[in-house]
Amino acid sequence: MENEQSIKEMVREKYTQIALQTIQPEKSSCCGDICCGDEKSYSVLSDNYENLEGYVKDANLGLGCGLPTNFAEIKEGDTVVDLGSGAGNDVFIARAITGENGKVIGIDMTSEMIAKAKINNSKIGYKNVEFVLGEIENTTLPNDSTDVVISNCVLNLVPNKRNAFKEIYRILKPGAHFSVSDIVLKGELPDSLRRSAEMYAGCVSGAIQLEDYLAIIREVGFENVEVKKISLTNLPDEILKEYLNNEDLQKFKRNEIGIFSVTVNGYKLSN
């Protein structure tokens, strides 16, 4: 428990720093430039939001690893919750879909991110968007209150992923669902490669094997769990060649081992 808390505090500190600095999305990675430790910065995970309705440039800090709203099956009038909402990027995209009759709630454990998101929303003037300070594993939302839960490259940073998905299950209405983009592993990566990858994309830290990730989701009660999209992260060749032998490099190229961004949907079919 003490270790879990120390990990949370480390994540909170890093994302506080990101919130307090001005980041150009095309130059940031999953953890922003602050984690990289030198001049190199690779945007290896972020997808392009710019053509999506509801896109707000100031809300895009380049911290995502997918486009969960593209797979979330959000409908007009839905109540949507974004876990780890940051500066509001996915919240504003979801709001464009739910419309005026819906509601979108962003939850983040970093007060500086909440403040940044509220400033962004004040420029737009949405009345049915709310940003709440809180932890993913222990929100203050009522049971069975949410139509869709989304999250973008955040749950892998949560030490207790089972509790996180149990909380998602609790707040979803029966018949409702989640769509989560995240970072997972496939196969056994050399520790040296994994540590090097973390320097380029902070959200690699905390990533677990894909099969373990999906097993946790099913164990807490979700059904019809489906991988909607999976993509190998675009690590620079100089990293791969430094840490992988020829055999492992070929496995990496064939997507048999590696660090992947994945978007997963799951459904709460009953209480």
pLDDT in tens, 90-108: 999 999 999 999 999 999 9
CB-based burial, 174-213: b 16+ in 10 Å, e otherwise: eebbbbbbbbbbbeebeeebbebbbbbbbbbbbbeebeeb
How far apart CA 60 and CA 82 sit, in angstroms, is 14
**Interior CA angle at 192 toward 5 and 10, to 5°?**
20
User: What backbone phi and psi angles, to 5 degrees, belong to 266?
Assistant: -150, 155
Confidence band of 7 (pLDDT split at 50, 70, 90): low
Q: In the predicted model, is pLDDT for residue 24 greater than 50?
A: no
Identify the CATH assignment for 2-267 out of 3.40.50.720, 3.40.50.1820, 3.40.50.150, 3.90.1150.10. 3.40.50.150
| Domain locations in the chain as residue ranges | 2-267
Provide the pLDDT for residue 97: 96
* For residues 29-54, average pLDDT: 51
Burial bucket for residue 171 (CB in 10 Å: 0-12, 13-18, 19+)? buried
Percent of all residues in the chain with a pLDDT value above 90, rounded to a whole number: 52
Q: What is the pTM of this model?
A: 0.83
Over residues 52-80, the mean pLDDT reads 89
Quick one: pLDDT at residue 257? 82
Tell me, what's the pLDDT at 18? 67
Pairing of strands 146-152, 129-133: unpaired
